[in-house]
């Protein structure tokens, strides 16, 4: 028998390589490749003819999948309107961000709605989970609790219990005796997730898998199982901030990019129904460098404050520090300001930050970023009652963005009365908001900041 070749696997994305390398070619992660035991040959290929499968047409009608709501509105929305029966969901996030807390609250909420729910902890002893439940005021919730890491035993238990929903916290602690490598390895995580997902489909049980995001090292990250599940949610937030954001990055049963906002309190996670008000609550008197961006997250408008600081740099290569935004986007906007509007940032340190620990990915934030940079550089504060949004093209022109009316409506609701935005083909009418439509960035520089 031929000797099995050793196999090298990236713990971040699961790609396999023939030899070890410092950097994974598939996902670009550093130091993530480890040697794994080759997969055992198994019983060998089955010989025999396949049978033909029954085919249908696309026109066959399908009832919408039945959903169960938890009553936690922020969670239900991110799931696409509730939990779909027999679906597999991955909840990823940094260790300590609050995944276990969120899912304990979620299981209790679903249990209160009459679902039979099971919470399997592979990380904490049952007593620890009970202590947390007591702290959250959920000690009486009808959730069945198990502390186990042997997947074979868990599957047998699920088979007899037949719950509606089971939470596996976390997938990286689970192990199958048929796989040789250690728990947390790519092979184990993949095999365990595969078993659980196929169990979910076969038995009509919804499964929520918790996965820790790993920076580097020997533990496989949640990306390894992303393609196996129906829905991928990431729970994110900045350390030191109370806000936590549950973001759908993939959803077979609803819109991706939807977010739910929570606040970590002494008694667990509290839902934040009006995030704009919360994100702007720390805002003081208008200061140079601060701009309110009227954004859209999923289906919901959300106002956030973008802050910039521009200062002469003592360094040969000035600093560009970005928190909560894409740093490549900052470079592009700086280049457009320099090339199209004649405003140089050479020799200056630039710091850019989204207040409150929010992360903004929309291109519509371009104009708000540019305004924050200009405001900081020219030391001119924008009026406190103004919101900004719009995409900047490389030519310096401003492009209209989707959902202008929703953005204006949210701004008006929160007491703003002016907006700086791209020129619109069809005028948007929002009573109470004076809309300043700008064709390009040079116009903003001249009219708003009197520079250029
Ligand atoms: P946890 O849910 O254990 O995180 P994860 O499962 O993602 O690793 O949350 C841990 C943090 O949450 C911990 O630092 C303490 C904090 N926390 C609160 O602030 N309030 C609470 O009510 C609870 C239960 C936790
Ligand atoms: Mg945990």
Report how far ligand 2's centroid is from the alpha carbon of 105 (Å). 13
Ligand 1 atom closest to residue 135's alpha carbon, by position in its atom list: 22
Q: Give the strands of the sheet with 117-121, arranged side by side.
A: 143-147, 117-121, 165-169, 206-212, 88-93, 231-236, 243-251, 259-265, 268-271
Residues 106 and 224 in one domain: yes
- Separation of 102 CA from ligand 2 center, angstroms? 9
One domain for residues 186 and 296: no
Asked if residue 118 and residue 103 are part of one domain, the reply reads yes
Residue 390 sits in a domain whose CATH number is 3.30.230.10
Distance 220 CA to ligand 1 centre (A): 22
Q: Confirm whether 120 is domain-assigned.
A: yes
Compute the distance between CA of residue 221 and CA of residue 234 in angstroms, rounded to an integer.
12
Closest residue CA from atom 2 of ligand 1: 98
Residue 407's pLDDT is 93
Residues 74 and 26 in one domain: no
Is 49 a member of any domain? no
Ligand 1 atom nearest the C-alpha of 266 is 20
Q: Provide the whole-model pTM.
A: 0.81
Contact 160, 185 (CB under 8 A): no
Q: With a cut of 70, which residues of the chain have pLDDT below it? A: 1-4, 38-47, 216-219, 451-452
Whether residue 304 is contained in a domain is answered as yes
E strand or H helix that includes residue 107:
helix 99-112
Asked if residue 438 lies in contact with residue 398, where contact means CB atoms within 8 angstroms, the answer is yes
Query: 54 in a domain, yes or no?
Result: no
Distance (Å, whole) CA 373 – CA 358 = 19
pLDDT at position 310, please? 96
Identify the domain boundary among 246, 273, 300: 273
**Contacts of 235 by beta carbon, 8 Å cutoff, 6+ apart:** 91, 92, 93, 97, 98, 99, 102, 244, 245, 246, 247
Same domain, yes or no: 164 and 293: no
Look at ligand 1, atom 17, and give the residue with the nearest C-alpha.
268
Out of 241, 273, 305, a domain closes at 273
Within this chain, do residues 118 and 266 fall inside the same structural domain, yes or no? Answer: yes
Tell me, yes or no, whether 399 lies in a domain: yes
In this structure, what token pair is assigned to residue 73? 């509105």
* Domain residue limits at 16: 1-38
Residues 269 and 306 in one domain: no
Task: Indicate the DSSP class of residue 25.
Answer: T
pLDDT at 3: 58
Does any ligand 1 atom lie closer than 6 A to the CB of residue 100? yes
Q: Does the residue 283 lie in any domain? A: yes
- Give the pLDDT confidence score for residue 219 in this predicted structure: 66
The Cβ of residue 329 has, within 10 Å, a number of other Cβ atoms equal to 18
Question: Is residue 162 domain-resident?
Answer: yes
- Do 124 and 235 reside in the same domain of the chain? yes
The C-alpha atoms of residue 431 and residue 38 are separated, in whole angstroms, by 66
pLDDT of residue 278: 77
Residues 260 and 304 in one domain: no
Q: Are residues 154 and 87 in the same domain?
A: yes
The CATH number linked to 157 is 3.40.50.300
Q: Which atom of ligand 1 is nearest to the CA of 95?
A: 8
Same domain, yes or no: 220 and 327: no
pLDDT at residue 312, as a whole number? 95
User: Which listed ligand is nearest to 172 at the C-alpha?
Assistant: 2
Task: Spell out where 18-125 has E strands.
Answer: 33-36, 67-68, 83-84, 88-93, 117-121
Our count of domains for the chain comes to 3
* Domain-terminating residue out of 239, 258, 273: 273
* Protein residues with C-beta less than 5 angstroms from the ion ligand 2: 100
27 and 87 together in one domain: no
Residue of 94, 100, 101 with the most ligand 1 atoms within 8 Å of its CB, for mutation: 101
- Would 396 be classed as within a structural domain? yes
């Amino acid at each position: 028998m031929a000797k099995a070749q050793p196999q090298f696997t990236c713990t971040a994305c699961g790609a396999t390589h023939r030899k070890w390398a410092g950097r994974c070619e598939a996902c670009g992660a550093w130091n993530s490749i480890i040697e794994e035991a080759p997969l055992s040959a198994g019983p060998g290929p089955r010989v025999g003819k396949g049978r033909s499968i029954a085919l249908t047409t696309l026109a066959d009608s399908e009832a919408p999948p039945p959903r169960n709501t938890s009553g936690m509105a922020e969670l239900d929305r991110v799931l696409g309107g509730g939990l779909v029966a027999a679906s597999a969901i991955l909840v990823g996030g940094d260790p300590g961000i609050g995944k276990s807390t969120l899912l304990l609250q979620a299981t209790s909420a679903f249990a209160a709605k009459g679902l039979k729910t099971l919470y399997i902890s592979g990380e904490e002893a049952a007593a620890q989970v009970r202590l947390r439940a007591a702290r959250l005021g959920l000690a009486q919730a009808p959730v069945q609790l198990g502390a186990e890491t042997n997947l074979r035993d868990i599957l047998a238990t699920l088979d007899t219990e037949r719950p509606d929903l089971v939470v596996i916290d976390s997938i990286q602690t689970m192990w199958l005796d048929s796989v040789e490598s250690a728990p947390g390895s790519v092979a184990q995580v993949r095999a365990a997730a595969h078993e659980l997902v196929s169990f979910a489909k076969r038995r009509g049980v919804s499964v929520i898998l918790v996965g820790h995001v790993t920076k580097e090292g020997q533990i496989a990250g949640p990306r390894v199982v992303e393609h196996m599940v129906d829905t991928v949610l990431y729970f994110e937030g900045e350390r030191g901030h109370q806000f936590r954001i549950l973001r759908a990055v993939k959803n077979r049963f609803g819109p991706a990019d939807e977010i739910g906002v929570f606040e970590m309190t002494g008694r667990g996670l509290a839902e934040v129904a009006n995030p704009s008000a919360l994100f702007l609550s720390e805002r003081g008197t208008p200061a140079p460098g601060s701009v309110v961006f009227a954004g859209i997250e999923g289906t919901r408008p959300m106002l956030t404050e973008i802050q910039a600081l521009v200062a002469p740099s003592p360094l040969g290569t000035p600093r560009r520090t970005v928190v909560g935004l894409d740093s490549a986007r900052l470079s592009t906007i700086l280049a457009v300001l320099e090339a199209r509007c004649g405003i140089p940032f050479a020799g200056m340190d630039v710091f850019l930050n989204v207040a409150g620990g929010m992360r903004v990915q929309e291109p519509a934030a371009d104009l708000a970023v540019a305004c924050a940079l200009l405001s900081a550089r020219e030391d001119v504060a924008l009026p406190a009652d103004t919101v900004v949004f719009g995409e900047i093209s490389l030519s310096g022109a401003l492009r209209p963005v989707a959902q202008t009316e929703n953005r204006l409506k949210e701004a008006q609701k929160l007491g703003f009365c002016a907006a700086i935005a791209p020129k619109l083909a069809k005028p948007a009418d929002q009573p109470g908001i004076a809309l300043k439509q700008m064709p390009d960035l040079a116009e903003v520089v001249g009219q708003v900041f009197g520079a250029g």
